[in-house]
Amino acid sequence: MTEKQRLILDAALKLFARDGYNSTSTNKIAKEAGVSEGLIFRHFRNKEGLLDFIVQQGLEIMKGELDKTGLLKDPRAKLKASLLLPANIVEAKPDYWKVQVSLKYMNHEIAEKYHESEFMENALALLLDAFTELGYKNPALESQLMMMIISSLFLSLVHGDIDNHDELMEFLVKKYKL
Amino acid sequence: MTEKQRLILDAALKLFARDGYNSTSTNKIAKEAGVSEGLIFRHFRNKEGLLDFIVQQGLEIMKGELDKTGLLKDPRAKLKASLLLPANIVEAKPDYWKVQVSLKYMNHEIAEKYHESEFMENALALLLDAFTELGYKNPALESQLMMMIISSLFLSLVHGDIDNHDELMEFLVKKYKL
DNA sequence: AAATAGAGTGAGTAATCACTTTCAAAAGTA
DNA sequence: TACTTTTGAAAGTGATTACTCACTCTATTT
């Protein structure tokens, strides 16, 4: 990874997050990064290759966080960590998740590649374990509902339109007796 | 509204929903509609005008549905109707909502115009009324949570990745004792 | 010192984009 | 009929797009 490669990746992530993938031309990326436009294609083959590279990194971070959560023994701790996951990962790399989310809703071939991943199934399995262990009557539906809450939380955080995150967390923790 | 105008609107809605706004050229719309490309600009001024026209209709439908829900007297009925709202409106016009949703996550100027609307606030106020009337301890947070569930439901339905809607509804109705 | 290779440049390319212009056929109106 | 307006098609327009190509520069290897 040369310095210019880093500059290109940083510029692309910033612009993709701010303006969207389609509205960001390779010309703009090159200008923002302070490199020649041709260099983008030497290092990343094409515009989509650049996107690929960026998003692949994000997916691995997400997977790492989820694995950490899975290691927890106490089911209540697992659920609490799952609820806090969105805030933690979005805060760490907001631009990353802005791009990820916009891809999901772009309904374009590019989007599907990343979101058919086994990630959701892993997360759901983790919740299912916890609710089962806690003796909930209908753990499958409980975890489906929890999953909906978590993804909604994630979206709100990415778009920056949530102003009472801590209060909301406290409310949920109390509701689920975590 | 001439016949060709209808043809253009239908073609545009279909293509915007399938491929996204940015990836749909006016040329493609004209071909799909079987009219000349120039006609699009005669009738709708520009590509964004076409989008405007399409989305404006959807917003009015949504508002109408919400108003109907607001007329209900029983707070439990209000909540139940709110939960069923996504399925009802998405089933009626799936392509409409696919476009609406993709706009929201396009992070582009076009998107903001539609989603700063007072719609969300009205919906939230309706839920707040219901939870307050039912004597919930923290009606504000309860309605915020319900809003998250509803919008998550809406998104899943739009993307067609929900295969147990009725079961989920039954579960929620029981959980909230509606 | 000669050869090789990778990093980097920037002008150039064909294709596609949203949009305009021109003009003719209908359709309405007197 | 004679006119005006509306509706439509077809062939443009310049700008922008992702991407290529011929080339230079620098550093390492032979």
- B29, B92: one domain: no
pLDDT of amino acid B119: 77
CB contact under 8 A, A148 and B144: no
* pLDDT tens sequence across A140-176: 999 999 999 999 999 999 999 899 999 999 999 999 9
Q: Please compute, for residue B29, the number of CA atoms within 13 A of its CA located in the half-sphere on the CB side.
A: 32
Q: Are residues A80 and A125 in the same domain?
A: yes
Structural domain span for residue B142: 56-175
Shared domain for A112 and A143, answered yes or no, is yes
On whether the CB atoms of residues B130 and B75 are closer than 8 A, the answer is yes
Strand C proximity list, CB < 7 Å: A 2-5, 35-39, 42-43; B 24-28, 37-38, 41, 46-48
- Establish if A51 belongs to a structural domain: no
- In the prediction, which pLDDT does A104 show? 82
**Side-chain-facing half-sphere of B11: CA atoms under 13 Å:** 22
> Which chain A residues contact residue B108 at CB under 8 A?
19-20, 23
In this structure, what token pair is assigned to residue A163? 């102003």
Distance A52 CA to D22 C1' (A): 29
Position A137 in a domain: yes
Buried b (16+ CB within 10 A) or exposed e, A127-166: bbbbbeebebeebbbbbbbbbbbbbbbbbbbbeeebeeee
Angstrom distance (rounded) from CA B18 to CA B21: 9
We report the CATH number of the domain holding residue B30 as 1.10.10.60
CB crowding B119-148: b at 16 or more within 10 Å, else e: eeeebeebbbebbeebebeebbbbbbbbbb
| CA separation for the pair B57, B43 (Å, rounded) | 16
Is B149 in contact with A145 (Cβ distance < 8 A)?
yes
Q: Is residue B51 part of a domain?
A: no
Q: State the Cα–Cα distance between residues B40 and B167, nearest whole angstrom.
A: 44
Q: Please indicate, yes or no, if residue A62 is contained in any of the structural domains.
A: yes
Q: Which two tokens stand for residue A48?
A: 């989509």
Would you say residue A15 lies in a domain?
Answer: yes
Q: Determine, yes or no, domain membership for A1.
A: yes
Same domain, B89 and B11: no
**Residue-level pLDDT at B57:** 81
Please tell me if residue B106 touches chain A, with a CB cutoff of 8 Å: yes
Q: Is residue A33 part of a domain?
A: yes
Q: Which amino acid residue lies closest to nucleotide D16, measuring CA to C1'?
A: A25
The predicted pLDDT at position B117 comes to 66
Nucleotides of C under 7 A from a protein CB: 7-12, 16-22
Report the CATH number at residue B148: 1.10.357
Q: Does residue B61 sit in the same domain as residue B127?
A: yes
Using DSSP's 3-state secondary structure scheme, residue B91 falls into: helix
Neighbour tally for B44: CB within 10 Å: 20
Neighbours of A177 (CB within 10 A): 8
Interface contact B139, partner A, CB < 8 A: no
Distance in Å, alpha carbon of A105 to nearest chain B alpha carbon: 5
Query: A138 and A161, same structural domain?
Result: yes
pLDDT digits (tens, 9 = 90+) for B112-144: 667 666 778 888 999 999 999 999 999 999 999
- State, as a whole number of angstroms, the distance between the CA of B84 and the C1' of C3: 74
- The verdict on residue B134 lying in a domain is yes
Beta carbons of A105 and B105 less than 8 Å apart: yes
For residue B107, the distance in angstroms to the closest alpha carbon of chain A comes to 6
Q: Write the burial class of residue A3 (CB in 10 Å: 0-12 exposed, 13-18 middle, 19+ buried).
A: exposed
Within 13 Å and on the Cβ side, how many CA atoms surround A14?
Answer: 12
pLDDT band at A56, cuts 50/70/90? confident
pLDDT of residue B30: 96
Among B107, B116, B150, most A C-beta atoms within 10 A, so best to mutate, is B107
Q: Which amino acid is at B87?
A: A
Give the whole-angstrom CA distance, residue A40 versus residue A28: 11
What average pLDDT score do residues A29-39 get? Answer: 95
pLDDT tens sequence for chain B (178 residues): 889 999 999 999 999 999 999 999 999 999 999 999 999 999 999 999 999 999 888 788 778 888 888 889 999 999 999 999 999 999 999 999 999 888 887 766 666 667 666 778 888 999 999 999 999 999 999 999 999 999 999 999 999 989 999 999 999 999 999 9
Q: Which two tokens stand for residue A104?
A: 């999901």
Interval A91-147: pLDDT, tens: 999 999 999 888 887 766 667 777 666 778 888 999 999 999 999 999 999 999 999
Q: Which of A149, A155, A168 sits opposite B149 (nearest CB)?
A: A149
**Same domain, yes or no, for B69 and B20?**
no
CA B11 to C1' D17, whole Å: 25
Answer yes or no: do A38 and A73 share one domain: no
pLDDT of residue A85: 93
List, as own/partner pairs, every contact residues A136-140 make where C-beta atoms lie below 8 angstroms and the sequence separation is at least 24, other chains included: A138/B171
**pLDDT on residue B67:** 87
* Same domain as B62, residue B5: no
| Claim to verify: residue A95 and residue A118 sit in the same structural domain | yes
Contacts of A141 in chain B (CB under 8 A): 167-168, 171
Chain B interface mutation, best of A23, A117, A146, A152, highest count of B Cβ atoms under 10 Å: A152
One domain, residues B67 and B125: yes
- State the pLDDT at residue A167: 98
What is the model's pLDDT at position B24? Answer: 94
Number of folded domains in chain B? 2
pLDDT-derived band at A50 (thresholds 50, 70, 90) equals very high
Claim to verify: residue A95 and residue A70 sit in the same structural domain: yes
